[in-house]
Structure 1
Amino acid sequence: MRILIVEDNEDLLESMRQILCDEFEIECATNGEEGLFLGLQNIYDLILLDVMLPELDGFEILRRLRAEHIMSPVLFVTAKDGLEDRVKGLDIGGDDYLVKPFQAPELKARIRALLRRAGSLTIDQTIRYRGIELFGREQEIKIDHVSMRLTIKQYELLEYLIQNKDKILTREQIYDRVWGFESDTTVAIVEVYIHHLRKKLEPFGYHKDIQTVRGIGYMLKETKV
């Protein structure tokens, strides 16, 4: 799972990155403009957003993200602890508010709660979509209670699709998330793996849920019969 941290205090930014990097893929920004750019360009499972930032404050970043229909959960992490600021942050589309200073266990607990609420994580770190279950710790998959074998990349591809169900993902976004820009392959590999993943899901009837969005990419969405 991918988290964006937007925080101008570099010591705190590095501390949060260290706390979370064992469980999540972390990207960082140290000012509002950079944070907004990353938030608009990439898909994140969650955004940790400071309020008082140079160039653009956290409230304005969130307004612009929501205006573009980017609905990633947002956890404000800030020293501004007044009731008015909390209400404002929640009213413009924030999901939770954590006041500095905070302890690492609380930060992790807030993140897990938001991911569960968004459907990206269950309490046992299992991701579910219809009859499909992905067990994150063991990278095991069951479909309709039947164990299934997938390659690592097939598993990561399916995991990413489930985490972003009902959202259109471009081929470039999928390639960046599953293979990374440093990979020796090209973005064309996405189509190949989508084909193989559909084949694995076909006996269970879930292959049609991986829908092709012509000229853009793919979307995991329940197909109505």
Structure 2
Amino acid sequence: MRILLVEDDDSLAVGLVKGLGKEGFTVDHVASGKMALAALRAEPPDMVVLDLGLPDMDGLDVLSRLREDGLRTPVLVLTARDQLDDRIAGLDSGADDYLAKPFDMQELAARLRVFERRLSTASATSVIRIGDVELDTAAHSVKVTGQVVEIPRREYMLLKTLMESSGKVLTREALETRLYSWGEEVASNALEVHIHHLRKKLPDKMIKTVRGIGYTVPSA
């Protein structure tokens, strides 16, 4: 899942990008409300982590404008404001959840995984099954014929993206967008390398190449 992090504290933002990356999320970061709105309107992410204390405008204004634009992207408000009235104002403005600073990274990741499950085709459960392959988005684990298979983070994210869109062909560009943050160096054959390694761990023909377009996995 791709997250837009809106946070003006650079040191906190660096920690969040790194920590959420380890949890399997792809994170893009902006430091102002105007940049957030531009990013949201250009290419909406799967979810947003939004600080309220931004330098150019209040985070609640960003949230209100996002909703006025008709974007239903899940938003978790992240702020030092912990008064009941502030929490109510955030929820009334369209926030889906609220987490006060200081917070634990594991709690933030757990709350974002709730958003993830809502967006998943397997919304009633954290487990996606296709044939002999079982992917658990809560446990970040993959099983093949009942046996746990160790898969690096990027390969896990790639497999998860494909399985969540089972039966659909995903282009190379769409997959790279899910795997890499803005400005990240990406080798020209990086995606093909990940696919190659995944195929060695999965049943034959689990991942099919659609020549000239991209990749797909069978319908669940």
TM range (shorter): 0.5 to 0.7
Distance 1:160 1:16, change over 3 A: same
Distance 1:184 1:63 in 2: 39
Mapped to 2, the partners of 1:90 and 1:128 lie a distance apart of 31
Question: In the alignment, is the contact (CA less than 8 A) between 1:50 and 1:58 conserved in 2?
Answer: yes
Deviations 1:82-101 (A, max 9, x none): 22221111112111111111
Amino acid at match of 1:102: F
| Alignment correspondent of 2:67 | 66
Per the normalisation by structure 1, the TM-score is 0.61
Aligned twin of 2:22: 22
Match of 1:109 in 2: 110
Per-residue CA shift, 1:62-91, capped at 9, x if unaligned? 222222332221110101112222111111
User: TM (normalized to structure 2)?
Assistant: 0.62
Question: How many residue pairs align between the two structures?
Answer: 205
Equivalent-residue separation in structure 2 for 1:101 and 1:65 (angstroms): 26
Letter in 2 for 1:89: G
Percent identity, aligned pairs only, is 36
Q: Determine the C-alpha separation between the residues in 1 that align with 2:163 and 2:64.
A: 26
Q: Which residue matches 1:10?
A: 10
Partner of 1:89: 90
Deviation sequence 1:148-205 (CA, Å, 0-9, x none): xxxxx9996774477589xxx99965563368894648xxxxxxxxxxxxxx79xxxx
The residue type equivalent to 1:3 in the other structure is I
Mapping of residues 1-225 of structure 1, within 5 Å: 1-24=1-24, 25-119=26-120, 126=126, 128=128, 134-135=135-136, 159-160=160-161, 173=174, 176-177=177-178, 182=186, 184=188
Answer whether contact 1:6 1:28 (CA < 8 A) is retained: yes
- Which consecutive residues of structure 1, in runs of 5 or more, have no partner in the other structure? 146-152, 186-199, 202-221
Residue range with higher mean Cα deviation, 52-61 or 95-104 = 52-61
Inter-partner Cα distance in structure 2 for 1:155 and 1:19: 16
Tell me: higher relative CO, structure 1 or 2? Use CA pairs within 8 A at least 6 residues apart. 2
Encode CA deviations 1:106-134: one digit per residue, 9 max, x unaligned: 2222222332344377798x454999964
User: Unaligned regions of 5+ residues in structure 2, if any?
Assistant: 146-153, 190-204, 207-218
**RMSD across aligned positions (CA):** 4.9
